[in-house]
Amino acid sequence: MYGDSANSANSSFALLGYSGVGKSTSLNQLLMDYPQLIIHKIPGTEDRIPQIVYLVVNCLPNSNFNELYISIGKAIDRALGNIQPYYEVAIRKTVGLSSKMNKVIELIETFNIGIILFDEIQLIDFKHTKENSFEGFMTIVNATKVAIAVIGTEDAYSKMFINLRNARRVGTLINASNYTENDSYFKNIVSFMMNYQWFDTWIDCDDEIIDALKECSYGIIDQLISLYVMMHIDYFEKKGKKPKVNGDYVRMISKKYFPYMKQLNKLLRDPMADKNLKQASEETQKHLNELLKKSEEQNKSSQEKQIEFNDTMLNIMKIKEQIIQDIEDVGFERPEIENCFNKKIIDKGIENKTVKEIKKEIITELAKPKKQTTKKRKPTQEEMIQAII
């Protein structure tokens, strides 16, 4: 649990790739298999040694190493379950970047931290971060032997590790975007995804749809799922005849809801690619949130109307039997009273009327003279024979 200064630093990894390929999701899935905090009991004593197996530090936009050290304190508080920030405050109050670095070293050794993972590393303001800040960070690695891993977009590697000694500390470079070029892998993802569908008729996972999904999502799983979700939402909102779900429908959805995606295909390896892709993702997410909010409001309104209707019907049923019994005492038959009551609900309604007013209206209706129906004369035998002829 303690790093030997005579040993070389532990190597780790850099997980880099396009925005939306699933880097953070994969990282979370990986870490679920490990306990973050282990309390070791020393035999024969009451002493306990805390060991933080890993820390995940979320890099803030345009942050520098001063903020990065503070974020490490925040991650330690989170790992220990501190509701009130303690170590974050301790690092924040420490004056000077060098003093903050020493405080971080002290905390790494106190809690025997195994690895620190920096997520969204590209968000650090590299332009205004001095080279000696990175060197200072490597000092932490050499002093504690803590492993360092970085997760971010592909341009972060060249920005952060401008020399071999810094890059060596991170170790293996994993290209998270590799799967986007693998057609058979993408086909597998689509086939799993399309097991979950809510169209009126079952849509097979054929080559036409797979090719269209690959063309419009560029193999990036986040864009693929967002596109698939929007296909369903658009399909649900169509009134009358539903559209045919095929490759052309996929392309129409992409053009309608993801207008940025086509031009970004050529920019994915451009330095501005991440910014543009992030903007497009945010626009899409915003639109998706608006549609979901609209759907929730409609559902809520429908539920409220249903509740209001149920309450009205409950009130009607409560007074119906009372009214029928009272009018029966006057001398009218139950079936004709009930028919008149039901007809009054359908024709005029009974809202805002008292029971007395409703009874009076029903009795008035029942007391009206019945129309005399003219009894038809039975035809004679001669007339029936003439009709047949």
Closest of 233, 295, 293 to residue 258, by C-alpha: 233
Q: Taking the domains of the chain in order of start, what are their residue ranges? A: 13-176, 180-295, 309-367
Closest of 289, 293, 206, 203 to residue 242, by C-alpha: 203
pLDDT (0 to 100) of residue 383: 65
pLDDT (0 to 100) of residue 10: 67
Place of tokens 């038809």: 376
pLDDT (0 to 100) of residue 312: 58
**For 265-286, b where at least 16 C-beta lie within 10 A, e where not — what string?**
eeebeeeebbebbeebbeebee
Q: Which residues contact 180 (CB under 8 A, 6 or more apart)?
A: 18, 21, 186, 218, 219, 220
pLDDT by residue for the chain (389 residues), tens digit each? Answer: 555 555 666 667 888 888 888 888 888 898 999 999 999 888 888 888 889 999 999 888 777 788 889 999 999 999 998 889 999 999 999 988 888 888 999 999 889 898 999 888 878 776 655 555 666 677 788 888 888 888 888 766 666 655 545 555 566 778 888 888 889 999 999 999 999 999 999 999 999 999 999 988 888 898 899 999 999 999 998 888 889 999 999 999 988 888 776 655 555 545 445 555 555 555 555 655 666 676 667 666 666 666 665 555 556 666 777 777 777 777 777 788 778 777 766 555 655 677 777 777 777 877 777 665 555 566 665 666 565 55
Q: How many CB atoms lie within 10 A of CB 27?
A: 18
Q: How many CB atoms lie within 10 A of CB 76?
A: 25
Instruction: Name the 3-class secondary structure at 94.
Output: coil
Angle between helices 207-217 and 247-257 (to 10 degrees): 20
- Tell me the whole-structure pTM to 2 decimals: 0.60
pLDDT (0 to 100) of residue 300: 67
- What is d(CA 178, CA 26) in angstroms, rounded to the nearest whole number? 14
Per DSSP, the residues of 191-218 read: HHHTTS--SSS-----HHHHHHHHHHHT
Q: Give the max Cα distance, the chain.
A: 129
- Whether CATH 3.40.50.300 fits 13-176: yes
